[in-house]
Chain A
Amino acid sequence: MTQSPPAERKVDWKDPQLAATLRARHARERRLKLLGLASLGAAFAMLFILLASLAASGYKAFVQTHVTMDFIISEQNVSPDKPEKGKYRKVVAESLQAVFPEVSRKEMRQLRKILSNGAQYMVRDAVVADPSLIGGVLRLTVPVSDPYDQLNKGEIDRATPEANRRLSDREIAWFDRLKEAGMISTPFNKALFLNADSRFPELAGLKGALWGSFYALLVCFLLSFPIGIGAAIYLEEFAPRNRFTDIIEVNINNLAAVPSVVFGLLALAVFLGWFNLPRSAAFVGGMTLALMTLPTIIIATRAALKAVPPSIREAALGLGASRQQVVFGHVLPLAMPGILTGTIIGLAQALGETAPLLLIGMNAFITSAPESAFEPATALPTQIFIWADSPERGFAARTSAAILVLLGFLIIMNLTAVILRRKFERKW
């Protein structure tokens, strides 16, 4: 053993070549960070542009121009025996005539259009509720019709030639007179949430769509949550691993990627075609959405079940728990936050889903809110679709407002999911 051990290799960290590699490594890291920041910035810019443009066009729909005036409820027009059968059109006309005494009978037709078509019904409802008003005067705040609303919101440019304007000079003058008399107000547009859809933009609201979406999501949840969890538990905890379960697994993952319009076609053929379920009903919408939400919930549930550490299963099995006791007593409760998060995200997706609902007719024009899941209804996204398709100016702002409402719900749901996940996050 005369051989000396190999000389110790010394690394000279000051060597310029080594220093250069180190610098290059740092530079690469900086570049990566910059790229990440840039893409994040781009994403935020897009989001900002989207929200800003929606808010800019939508905020006007959150207020509505109203006029407060006295309606003369004469006994000629409204009989005290049958207040609901009164001639309220005439009541409105006569009351307007009282405000504008100089307007001729011929111009009256034109003048009447200053008020929303719904004004007469609002007067009627007030009188029916309080018949003692008959023979007296009712002070009521009613919406103005869409063109005047647009005028008040500055959407109609007074400088454009009269021929190209939706309101004539005289009509604008009438409105200005009301305004000078302090009869015009622009309160928060409660009708946007309390009314169902209408042909008249100033009367149209989201109540029907909100209820429709609520019922559809409820049905969707009631179907997809238990079925999804059941399927996931079976696949994850009980099913043998074989070719058959492999095929099922692949198909579930594929189902999650199927375009939603295909589910709509399926629902149209099966639910409406074979089973003759009612068209446009939120119940059918919910079933269709459940088809799409199921794979999401199954995948989320399986991931959550997998994430439960095996040591917990071993502990319970080692004590003599049966497989079912292990799953329902230990694994499922621990996986619940993850399952709920996945479910909420699935439901949020379902809430925004439009195409399948269009196919089963949830884009019908329905002027009353549904009272059950089996009545025809629209949903938020289909309502947006309908309004976006309407020519009246007033619907443009309402479309944006409805999108903002939908986004609001989506943000609330996703926040709930995040909070749930934070709250129950567990360190093993």
Chain B
Amino acid sequence: MTQQETGAGGGEIKISARDVQVHYGDNHALRDVSVDIRDKMVTAFIGPSGCGKSTFLRCLNRMNDTIEDCRVEGDIRLDGEDIYAPEVDPVHLRARVGMVFQKPNPFPKSIYDNVAYGPRIHGLAKNKAELDEIVEKSLRRGAIWDEVKDRLDAPGTSLSGGQQQRLCIARAIATSPEVLLMDEPCSALDPIATAQIEELIDELRRQFCVVMVTHSMQQAARVSQRTAFFHLGQLVEYGETGQIFTNPSDPRTESYITGRIG
């Protein structure tokens, strides 16, 4: 199923997936997913629990490689380049495609070291001054600099949940990725922290291609420009967020949005 381009806003096609199949052992978790994700906008994946949203998201930075009995088939291209090609190093890919997880998971290290970790392992900074600069810039872009600038040595785990999640976003930004994947980034947070993160995501789309899984349709409606609806391992519908929510073309989408599946 190839999605038609609806032409509205946004940039180039950043990621294009064709006929993606994912198996966990005998469980065919994702079937025939084809989707084009555009740069400089937020794409939301919605759908009932267990429908394969996270699974698909994890295909985009090859995190599924780390799951032993997980098999990914199909064609996924980042800027036209097959990310499952043998010459692609997943370690390098994950620096280009950052990921933020459902539960804030800062390392039990200082705030500074959390953000500096990515640049350090990839050798992105030539010296301490450069690293300091990357850390500050990332924390600023993660909208948490003002809250932590006086205590960069404090452990990342000492922050509140919302701050931890923004720290994790800053940490993902620090490797200068092109794509940011977020798997239900607000589901462990209170409404105020959620609002802060949503605002941040809206800001981030100026620089990144943001792909976000959410189980909250309001959230998808608030922050995303395009929405993909998954159901039972299939991509049912994909299009502009406004259109999906007001005028879905598939009856399953409609049922989900009106609260009949879920």
Determine whether B118 belongs to the interface, using a CB cutoff of 8 Å to chain A: yes
Contact between B108 and A315, CB atoms less than 8 A apart: no
Which residues of B are interface residues toward A (Cβ below 8 A)? 61, 63, 66, 68, 91-95, 98-99, 101, 103, 105-108, 117-118, 121-122, 168, 171-172, 175
Among the listed A240, A241, A315, A320, which residue makes an inter-chain contact with B121, where contact means beta carbons less than 8 Å apart?
A320
Q: Which residue of B lies closest to A311 (CB)?
A: B105
Q: Which residue, of B95, B98, B117, B118, has the highest number of chain A Cβ atoms within 10 A?
A: B117
Answer whether A325 and B121 are a contact pair too, CB < 8 Å, given A319-B175, A320-B175, A426-B108.
Answer: yes
Contact between B95 and A319, CB atoms less than 8 A apart: yes
Closest 9 CB pairs of A and B: A311-B105, A320-B94, A318-B99, A320-B95, A319-B118, A315-B105, A320-B91, A322-B91, A321-B121
Q: Which residue of A lies closest to B104 (CB)?
A: A311
Contact between B107 and A316, CB atoms less than 8 A apart: yes
Contact between B105 and A317, CB atoms less than 8 A apart: no
Bound-state CA distance A165–B94 (Å) is 87
Contact between B101 and A311, CB atoms less than 8 A apart: yes
Q: Find chain B residues with CB under 8 A from A321 CB.
A: 91, 117, 121
Which residues of A are interface residues toward B (Cβ below 8 A)? 240-241, 309, 311-322, 325, 330, 334, 426
Contact between A312 and B107, CB atoms less than 8 A apart: yes
Contact between B117 and A314, CB atoms less than 8 A apart: no
Bound-state CA distance A314–B101 (Å) is 8
Bound-state CA distance A315–B105 (Å) is 6
Bound-state CA distance A240–B171 (Å) is 31
Contact between B107 and A315, CB atoms less than 8 A apart: yes
Contact between A317 and B66, CB atoms less than 8 A apart: yes
Q: Which residue of A lies closest to B96 (CB)?
A: A320
For residue B204, give the distance in angstroms from its CB to the closest CB of chain A.
16
Contact between B106 and A318, CB atoms less than 8 A apart: no
Q: Find chain B residues with CB under 8 A from A318 CB.
A: 61, 63, 94, 98-99, 101, 172
21 contacts between A and B (CB under 8 A): A311-B101, A312-B107, A315-B101, A316-B107, A317-B66, A317-B94, A318-B63, A318-B94, A318-B98, A318-B99, A318-B101, A319-B94, A319-B98, A319-B117, A319-B171, A319-B175, A320-B92, A320-B93, A320-B121, A322-B91, A322-B121
Among the listed B91, B94, B108, B175, which residue makes an inter-chain contact with A334, where contact means beta carbons less than 8 Å apart?
B108
